[in-house]
Structure 1
Amino acid sequence: MRIRRAALDELPALQDIERAAGGPFRELGMADIADDEPPALDLLDAYRRAGRAWVAVGEEDRPRAYLIAEPVDGALHIEQISVHPGAAHRGVGRALLAYAADRAREEGLTGLTLTTFAEVPWNAPYYLRIGFHVLEEAELTPGLRTIRAAEAGHGLDRWPRVCMRRALDGP
């Protein structure tokens, strides 16, 4: 897989990836997450125009995964990372995170942050394995508190959620 910036005409494909990636949540009793609509095209385009929407593409140069992010309180916050189930378990998500970390370093940011489900195997337990740690309530920055409040307003707190951070080491 190769990682590059998302193109405008690929944004509908990112929505398709999101829908497909939501399917496994149904097996965990999280049908509302599985059925949740992906980010709107105008939101995806805002990330793209800001240079913060990246795709992992295969030999056919078709997106198989994507990541959108924005700076929040000195870190690059991963707003969404989704891998199509057909590309899962191949290190694609890890490669996207490494790419995002490189971009964050270039901007002088100090880490990666994200919010995720605490008990979903491919969420918090996965991120713990690749170097993230759970932030305690007292460690949350103002921006992360705002993000968590918005998530709660969307009903995501029906399932346990956590904020996580991974420091960026060196250049």
Structure 2
Amino acid sequence: MSEFSIRLARVEDARAFHKVEEDAADLLRSEPSLKGIPVPPSTSAEEYRATIAKGHCLAATIADEVVGFAAAARVGRELHLHELSVARAHQGKRIGATLLTALKIDAANSGLRAITLNTYRDIPWNGPFYSRHGFVEIENFEGRQHLVQSLDEAVAFGLPRDRRCAMIHFLN
């Protein structure tokens, strides 16, 4: 197992975030149950620069190479996880789980109440992964318009509404 480190993301990590996301997206492209369903384009380096600048993004590195990341931003008193990706060559090493744990610590230390996200409810490395890490599916979107908007955008792109969900992890 390779040793990895987790650190606060730097603006210069933006291009690596894009590349890691694009690499990890190949898993969705090859998922048999998603045949014929489009995979949204990866976030651009420019968009990642803007998100990183807000201060709640984390990078997983091995020998100074970004191999995974968590891109999140504050929405009110919550942190919304836009993307959690690990390069395929480095998956299965608990990098994603460690990024998620570190994100929870960062959010709690920042005085935030919860972390939210949108994902596939039935793809093993999506909904079930987050469930194992304390996230629960939510139905009541009151006060969380960003979740409604994210779901609506996914459906408009062509993702199946019945397979998508919003999840939340309340911080203690």
TM over 0.5: yes
Contact 2:14 2:46 (8 Å CA) reproduced: no
| Pairwise CA RMSD | 1.9
Deviation track 1:124-146 (CA, whole Å, cap 9, x = no partner) reads 01111121111124567223222
Deviation track 1:115-160 (CA, whole Å, cap 9, x = no partner) reads 1001111100111112111112456722322222222233233661
Per the normalisation by structure 2, the TM-score is 0.86
Q: Percent identity?
A: 26
Structure 1 CA distance for aligned equivalents of residues 119 and 75 of structure 2:
16
Contact 2:56 2:106 (8 Å CA) reproduced: no
Partner of 1:27: 30
The offset of 1:63, in angstroms, is 0.5
Can you give the 5+ residue segments of structure 1 that lack an aligned partner in the other structure?
Answer: none
Alignment of structure 1 residues 75-90 onto 2, 5 Å: 75-90=78-93
Q: Which amino acid aligns with 2:49?
A: D
Deviation track 1:14-69 (CA, whole Å, cap 9, x = no partner) reads 11111110111123233622xx43111211000121113221001x1110101111
Partner of 2:125: 122
Partner of 1:4: 7
Contact 1:134 1:165 (8 Å CA) reproduced: yes
Q: Count the aligned residue pairs.
A: 166
Q: Which amino acid aligns with 2:60?
A: A
Contact 2:9 2:58 (8 Å CA) reproduced: yes
Per the normalisation by structure 1, the TM-score is 0.87
